[in-house]
Amino acid sequence: MGRRYFGTDGIRGLANAHPMTSEVALRVGMAAGRMFTNGDHRHRVVIGKDTRLSGYMIESALVSGFTAVGMDVFQLGPMPTPAVAMLTRSLRADLGVMISASHNPYADNGIKLFGPDGYKLSDEMEARIETLMGERAEQLLVPSDRIGRATRIDSAQERYIEFAKRTLPRNIKFDGLRVVIDCAHGAGYRVAPLALWELGAEVIKIGVEPDGFNINKECGSTAPQALCEKVREVRADVGIALDGDADRVIIVDEKGHEVDGDQLMAVIAQSWQRRGRLAAGGIVATVMSNLGLERYLESLGLTMARTPVGDRYVVEHMRKHGYNVGGEQSGHIVLSDFTTTGDGLISALQILACVVQSEKPVSEVCNRFEPLPQILENVRYSEGRPLEEKIVREVIDEGRNRLGKSGRLVIRPSGTEPVIRVMAEGDDERLVSTVVGDIVEALKKVAA
């Protein structure tokens, strides 16, 4: 039986439309709160959000639900997703909640839940919450004298900034480093520039004027063009682009060229290997990471384990097999020595530390391998299961055979929208382009 509310990354959808409504948020608060209130002590939940207009609505509904079942609520205001995970542990809370749709436009929103250990809840726990959401409200409510309280944590930003700074050795400073940071008008718009400034960098800020509607709009890690231009304009040493909830990062070098998550993982893996810090003899990446990264790691004597797309799958594999570096090409990088989820700021700090220590420009530090030609196209569909159509399966099989061992083909439906992603890579760029084009054409025929 399929789940009704939770997807691959919490609950997500168009704000004020099912399932992203106040009513559903209220039920989530009541159900999750009841599941985590099973003792005599006062149970706590931490709630953070990004800067979307609908965040106010969803937050109020969640607070109402949690307090109605006896939980005390700590409200953080706009804070990065990894900060919510960290503060859930730091404040000894039973549950953490992030209200965000990450890199999506302002009209979308989402609810992510973290357990007391700071990790996202398992599928089983989310299923239990869904079951409780189907219960009558009267069965979940507590007596009047046990209703919870809501409190704003004014020190949340300072706590997270100090935590981020402590991930670097004390002798690392960014004095003389000119940094442009694009916060996507999102959750990191206050904490990220301040952390860089406190570490000594000269900081030029863009994407730090949220108005409820402009999150991720032509800015941030999914649209780094403005950052690239700003880096060239002010002759900065480096540019940093976060996404709406600041759990991913893209770097721009001093020439204004974009550096993706694969190159960043290569830098961190090599640096940590040299320092004897890299665990399990390699890293964890997804099926979307470039084959060039895998070949580079092999040249260092390191392995690369692949998982399905999604940072929760990366984290699950890391925890199960003892890795401490993992991530995605999109810039979700998980450094489990410090964090339980992707953290754009902390990942950026690790890269800047490598730049400072090497005394080389970013374009050299972050150019560890030559990526294989890789093409990704998205095909939107309205209904049905296009990937199960015979004509589509035949074209996919043919493409996979044509690429052979000199390339890879990855086709997957998005977990957050009605889109099928078609990705191919290989040594022969023309062949890669042809294979992707044929599959996209077949999908469009059945999706029309």
| Claim to verify: residue 307 and residue 203 sit in the same structural domain | no
Residue 244 belongs to what domain range?
159-259
φ/ψ of 42, rounded to 5, equals: -75, 120
63: in domain = yes
In a domain, 358, yes or no: no
pLDDT tens-place string over residues 354-382: 999 999 999 999 999 999 999 999 999 98
Structurally, how many domains does the chain consist of? Answer: 4
Q: What is the mean pLDDT of residues 154-160?
A: 96
Residues 382 and 282 occupy one common structural domain? no
Query: Which of residues 259, 276, 298 is at a domain's end?
Result: 259
Task: Answer yes or no: do 182 and 241 share one domain.
Answer: yes
**pLDDT exceeding 70 applies to what percent of the chain?**
98
Is residue 353 in some structural domain?
Answer: no
Span 8-17, average pLDDT: 92
Q: Does a structural domain hold residue 364? A: no
What's the pLDDT score for residue 40?
64
**289 is written with which tokens?**
């990471």
Tell me which of 106, 137, 153 is where a domain ends.
Answer: 153
Q: What is the pLDDT of residues 106-122, one digit of tens each?
A: 999 999 999 999 999 98
Do both 307 and 324 map to the same domain?
yes
CA 184, CA 192: separation in Å to the nearest integer?
A: 11
Averaged confidence pLDDT in the chain: 95
User: Do 149 and 193 belong together in one domain?
Assistant: no
Do 17 and 138 fall into the same domain? yes
Q: Mark whether 270 and 396 lie in a shared domain.
A: no
Q: Same structural domain for residues 286 and 220?
A: no
Q: Strand 95-99's sheet: what is its strand order?
A: 11-14, 108-114, 95-99, 44-49, 72-78, 150-152
Cα 376 to Cα 416: distance, rounded to the nearest angstrom: 17
Last residue of a domain, one of 212, 230, 259: 259
Give the model's pLDDT for residue 1.
46
The answer to the question of residue 199 being in a domain is yes
Output the CA torsion 331→335→338→340 (10° steps): 80
Three-state DSSP class for residue 233: helix
Under the banding of pLDDT at 50, 70 and 90, the label for residue 9 is: confident
CA dist 157 and 448 (Å) reads 48
The reply to whether 433 and 329 lie within a common domain is no
Residue 136: exposed, middle, or buried by beta-carbon count in 10 A (0-12, 13-18, 19+)? exposed
Whether residue 318 lies inside any domain: the answer is yes
Catalytic annotation present for 102: yes
pLDDT at 413 over 70: yes
Closest CA to 243 of 331, 348, 119, 347: 331
If asked whether residues 144 and 22 sit together in one domain, one would say yes
Residue 168 pLDDT > 70: yes
CATH number at residue 247: 3.40.120.10
- The 10s digit of each residue's pLDDT in 248-284 is 999 999 999 999 999 999 999 999 999 999 999 999 9
Q: Are residues 21 and 71 in the same domain?
A: yes
Q: Which of 100, 102, 221, 336 is catalytic?
A: 102
**Residue of 280, 283, 287, 247 lying closest to 267 (CA atoms):** 283
Residue type at position 415: G
Which two three-digit tokens encode residue 228?
């690239």
- Shared domain for 18 and 142, answered yes or no, is yes
Domain assignment present for residue 366? The answer is no
Output the domain CATH number for residue 425. 3.30.310.50
pLDDT (tens digit per residue) in 183-230: 999 999 999 999 999 999 999 999 999 999 999 999 999 999 999 999
Q: How many angstroms from the chain centroid is the CA of residue 238?
A: 21
Decide if 43 contacts 71 (C-beta within 8 A): yes
Whether 359 is in a domain gets the answer no
pTM of the model: 0.91
394 torsion bin: left (phi>0), alpha (psi -120 to 50), beta (else): alpha
